[in-house]
A = this chain, B = another copy of it.
Amino acid sequence: MPRVTDDHRRARRDEIARAALRCLERTGIHQTSISDIVEESGLSTGAIYSNFPNKREIMRYIVSDYLFPRLDEIGWPGGVRQPREVLELMLQGFTEDGLPPRIIIQFWAEASLDAELHDDMARTVARLRDTLMRRLLPWARTRATSDTAATALAREHAVALNAIAQGYIAHTAVFGPRDPLEYIESIAAVVA
């Protein structure tokens, strides 16, 4: 019995979150009002508030489940791949499949002010890092003598990949789209 109710509840929450996301893509977090979400979803104010306690919890739900939806579904090639190549695939994956950078940077701004939203973001980013780690592991094994060392190396590089991706997203959010390969090349030239 709880099964049916839970499924229904989740479906409703997804319906609301997706409507909210369509509003966010148009106007951002703070310019999106509850009544915009009411209109976009076709539900009533009360329907929103009987599924989420407040607007902030809708945003937390989005950060946890919708912010970087498909990174583990990128068509990753198998085999040994250099970190640089994994980075290139990741940035191309964001460009093609992710939410607009404009939205992501707004959630970062929120996360820097709200401890719980920050923790949701940290968990989401940790999932991303683990996906990257798995892709880096074959390469890391060619560089390390033990399995433990390989895991540590892959993890370190996955963290750095996340950091560069964050820089790329922030950059394109503010200054517009940019070719990922050219971006990577330009920062490589500077830190070399």
Residues of A that sit less than 8 Å from B by CB: 27-28, 30-31, 83-84, 87, 101-102, 105-106, 108-109, 111-113, 118, 121-122, 156-157, 159-161, 163-164, 166-171, 173-175, 183-184, 186-192
Contact = CB atoms under 8 A, between A and B. Distances in A.
Contact of A190 (B28, B83, B174, B186): B83
Contacts of A170: 105, 108, 166-167, 169-170
Most B-side CB within 10 Å, residue of A118, A161, A163, A169: A163
Contact of A113 (B28, B121, B183, B188): B28
Contacts of A167: 163-164, 166-168, 170-171
A122 B183 CA distance: 18
A187 B191 contact: yes
A160 B183 CA distance: 8
A135 to B, nearest CB: 13
A171 B166 contact: yes
A164 B188 CA distance: 10
Contacts of A160: 186-187, 189-190
A174 B111 contact: yes
Given A161-B190, A170-B170, A106 B101 contact: no
